[in-house]
Structure 1
Amino acid sequence: MASPASNGVPAVKGSFDKSVDFANYFCTYAFIYHQKEMLSDRVRMDAYYNAIFNNKHHFAGKVVLDVGTGSGILAIWSAQAGARKVYAVEATKMAEHAKALVHTNNVEDIVQVIEGPMEEVSLPEKVDVIISEWMGYFLLRESMFDSVICARDRWLKPSGVMYPSHARMWVAPVRSGLGDQKMNDYETAMSDWYSFVNDTEINYGVNMNALSQAYREEHEKYYLKTSLWNSLHPSQIIGTPAIIKEIDCLTATVDEIRNVFANFLLPINVDRTRLSAFAGWFDVHFRGSMQNPVEQEVELTTAPSIDNSTHWGQQVFLLHPPLRVDVGDKLMIAFSMSRSRENHRLMDVNFTYELQLSSGKCFKPVAIKYYIE
């Protein structure tokens, strides 16, 4: 239970500077161009639109809370679907633009836009529905789901529903030319560095080589160990994807999502190919609850697609060097993902993989640390 001084806001484990967090994260969402990118994502937009308007019984005459309303479009749709009242909470100055759109769309008697962090906002009543588009790259980057959990625990009625209601994280083995490109970029950067070291000593009499190891580590992280955003083609998947995490948005806790662990198997199903990377993506579902289900379930997936790519794309974790694999080979994976100590919005990811050939031969496990930035 929160202490009286906390105004009902649950304590957050691990301290961080709110002003720095705002500068690094929230300020991005205050720009219309960033909102436009999300509003132009047809997969995203269609999923939320269909979830709301195909399940009006969850909204008609109900009280709705939109966490991180941004442009306010989910709040406007909720009102158009018959909500009695919508509280649209936005931490940034985008709230002013949301108010303008609420007015233009003639729902200002229903939608109340509130500017401020969700953790610090007080509402005059409990709500029937919490709706939010909180998902970041590989689902959990940005850690915005923390704010949704806080809103749920403080304001959702026991009979209430979450939109979306469930989420899943996936990993698959893939082939890609990105690894070769990034390795070339890294080697070019290192060659340029050593030329710089040589020129500096010849021209200015100062030996800079003491910084070479630190420079190498910086560039290894940037080029080789930082995951990449990519829009993969389904043909690049060379094995059976595995679900590594399932989340029930009605019951999930911050502790549950702060650190994600999974052990799983990735069977290879493509003849004589190259394993270049692991790819991660997510999907979310609008199911309502067991007591109050939807009439029509809707799925939003960010899986590799021929013609339905999303602005989330997939996260690609490159292998250096790539591995030769064949049908029947298997990858035994130990996976972990936790929040970066330097920035709780970013993620540190660890893959430990062991390749087992169809012949029965096994290679020693290899552990690699990656960064989602």
Structure 2
Amino acid sequence: MAACGRRLVQLGRLSGTGFLGSPSGFHRGFSRIDGYVHYYGKLKNHEGMLRDSARNEAYDAALARAAPKLRGATVMDIGTGSGILALLAAKHGARKVYAVEGSPEIARVASRLARANGYAGVVEVIPKHLEDVTVEEVEQVDVIVSELFSHFLVGELGLQAVTHAVKRFLKPGGLVLPAAAWLKLSPFEDPSLGAELRARHGFWQNDDFMGFDLTSALPLAVEQQMKELVLDIVDPNELLVSPADSPGHFLDLAGPKDVEDWRKIDFELKFPERSKDALIDGLCGWWDAIFSGDGMGEVGEVPVLSTSPAAPLTVWAHCRFMLSRPLKASAMDKLRVQCQLRSHKLRESYTLSMELCNDTTRERASVGPVELSDVYARHFARPNPFPLKTEAG
């Protein structure tokens, strides 16, 4: 448990918890889900989420826009955590909100906060993992709201959770928030980052450790480091394709009929011309969540929660995936990337593999496979980007 907890602390992901597996219950017994419950059972690990104004304001705007659908409606909040999304749904008119939370201790906190804010009769906290909730406990709902996203959207198997909830609890014609998402990528050139990552393993350069030579282990240490997801704060001006012009893969979060539909996610993206010639070191990744669907109001723009480098910084930061070797490309060369995401039951996460292809020169370089739960949290070295808002500030 302690080792798993330390690894999860490295993730830097501060959010609610809930369903992290399939309804078949394959994670029974000890698995990473125990680590998630332990990690998210601590209030300090919800604080960053509540400090993230971009995240909270996007959900508030979405629920406000959905007010015509919410008035007198029933709602399920998957992985409620502190209960903030359940409270927002109640504020915008929901008659009943079932707030599902897998951590017993945090579930009690969510219940206390609902009572303290006058919503005890509206918000009912269900202290269970989603797959353990029965139709006898929760009626069919009009709206499902969730925020179970990881750094590259899919890492915590939140998409499976939404599909499971839609299949079992959503009324026909019901609303899912968010309804869709885009996975986005852009190439970057940053030789200093590659040098930094390779230099992190000076220990294995030791040729006299208690009289033994460790240097033969160095190549594997470097290889494994280069296959880790690097969480960073990326300047959008450093990207070779601007966030506005970066291609993306669309995901219909309410569309799949079975959790197994999310086991494999394959897509190919073609990049437009770049602003300059470059020696590409890796790919920057992020996601945008779209709050649309039947029952949403028509006033104003569709709310979007974006983790783009061009958007306000969020708790998810930005993903950097390093190439196996730098790939040379002129500004006019035709570039495309082939992506494969594979979920796996034992690690409750996804593995990402990519191949960046220069179709003009026929050169290629690969990424990974990257285990999305293995993270180098480089952004932790930066100042806290989410200072607590006060009336004075």
More displaced stretch, 169-178 vs 18-27: 18-27
1:164 aligns with 2:167: no
**Correspondence for 2:78:** 67
Whole-Å separation in 2 of the counterparts to 1:11 and 1:317: 28
Structure 1 residue 366: Cα displacement? 4.7
Q: Which residue of the partner structure matches residue 263 of structure 1?
A: 268
Alignment match, 1:287: 292
Q: State the distance in 2 between where 1:335 and 1:303 align.
A: 19
Q: 2:154 aligned to 140, 147, 166, which one?
A: 140
Task: Tell me which structure has the larger Cα radius of gyration.
Answer: 1
Conserved 8 A contact 1:68-1:90: yes
Offset, 1:341: 5.9
Question: Is 1:350 the equivalent of 2:367?
Answer: no
Provide the residue aligned with 2:66 in structure 1.
55
Q: Distance in 2 between matches of 1:14 and 1:63?
A: 27
CA contact (8 A) 1:43 1:310 kept: yes
The alpha carbon displacement at 1:90 in A equals 0.3
> After superposition, where does 1:108-123 map in structure 2 within 5 Å?
108-122=120-134, 123=137
Extract unaligned runs of 5+ from structure 1.
1-9, 202-207
Letter paired with 1:191: Q
One-letter amino acid of the structure 2 residue matched with residue 184 of structure 1: A
| Segment of structure 1 superposing worse, 257-266 or 152-161 | 257-266
Q: 1:23 to 1:219 in 2, by over 3 A?
A: farther
TM-fit CA distance, 1:229: 0.8
- Aligned amino acid, residue 369 of structure 2: K
Matched residue, 2:385: none
Structure 1 equivalent of residue 248 of structure 2: 243
Distance 1:261 1:42, change over 3 A: same
Cα distance in structure 2, aligned partners of 1:231 and 1:241 = 17
| 1:77-129 superposed Cα distances (whole Å, 9 cap, x missing partner) | 11111111111110002001101110110110111111011111123421111
Counterpart for residue 101 of structure 1: 113
- Partner amino acid for 1:22? I
Query: Is the aligned partner of 1:179 residue 2:194?
Result: yes
One-letter identity of the residue aligned with 1:266: F
* Alignment-mate amino acid for residue 51 of structure 2: S
Secondary structure of 2:139 counterpart: coil
Provide the C-alpha distance between the structure 1 equivalents of 2:184 and 2:275, rounded to a whole number of angstroms.
19
Runs ≥4 in structure 1, deviation > 4 angstroms? 10-14, 364-368
Aligned partner of 2:46 among 35, 45, 60: 35
1:60 CA drift (Å) = 0.8
TM-score by length of 1: 0.85
**Structure 1 position 150 matched with structure 2 position 164:** yes
- Kept in 2, the 8 Å contact 1:334–1:352? The answer is yes
Structure 2 unaligned segments of length 5 or more: list them.
1-20, 374-393
Tell me the equivalent position of 2:304: 299
Asked if the contact 2:341–2:351 (Cα under 8 Å) also holds between the matched residues in 1, the reply is yes
How big is the shift at 1:220? 2.2
SS for the counterpart of 2:58 is: helix
2:231 equivalent to 1:220 = no
Aligned length: 344
Task: Name the CA shift for 1:312/1:335 in 2 (closer, same or farther; >3 Å).
Answer: same
- 1:3 is matched with none
Residue 74 (structure 1) shift: 0.9
By how many angstroms is 1:333 displaced? 1.9
Distance in structure 2 (CA, Å) of the matches to 1:244 and 1:83: 33
- The CA distance in 2 between the partners of 1:33 and 1:245, in whole Å, is 33
Structure-to-structure mapping, 1:184-195, within 5 angstroms: 184-186=199-201, 188-192=202-206, 194-195=207-208
Greater shift in the superposed pair: 294-303 or 159-168: 294-303
State percent identity of aligned pairs. Answer: 26
Deviation (angstroms), 1:312: 0.8
Residue 306 of structure 2 aligns with an amino acid whose one-letter code is T
* Alignment partner, residue 5 of structure 1: none
Which of 326, 334, 340 aligns to 2:338? It is 334
Q: What is the rounded CA distance, in whole Å, between the counterparts of 1:217 and 1:294 in structure 2?
A: 54
Contact persistence 1:129–1:162 (CA under 8 A): yes
Of 115, 123, 126, 2:140 maps to 126
Counterpart of 2:351, as a letter, is D
**Does the CA contact (< 8 Å) of 1:179 and 1:320 recur in 2?**
no
- Shift, 1:264, TM fit: 2.4
Distance, in Å, in 2 between the alignment partners of 1:257 and 1:300 is 21
Map Cα deviations across residues 203-227 of structure 1 (whole Å, 9 max, x no partner). xxxxx66x944x6424421x21111
Report if the CA contact (8 A) 2:230-2:319 is conserved.
yes
In structure 2, relative to structure 1, the CA distance for the partners of 1:253 and 1:353 (3 Å cut) is same
SS of 1:182's partner is helix
Separation in 2 of the partners of 1:288 and 1:190?
A: 53
Shift of 1:246: 2.1
Separation of aligned partners in 1, 2:367 and 2:94: 51
Query: Partner of 1:335: helix, strand, or coil?
Result: strand
CA apart distance, 1:254: 2.1
1:235-264 deviation line (CA, Å, top 9, x unaligned): 121024221342242446423322111122
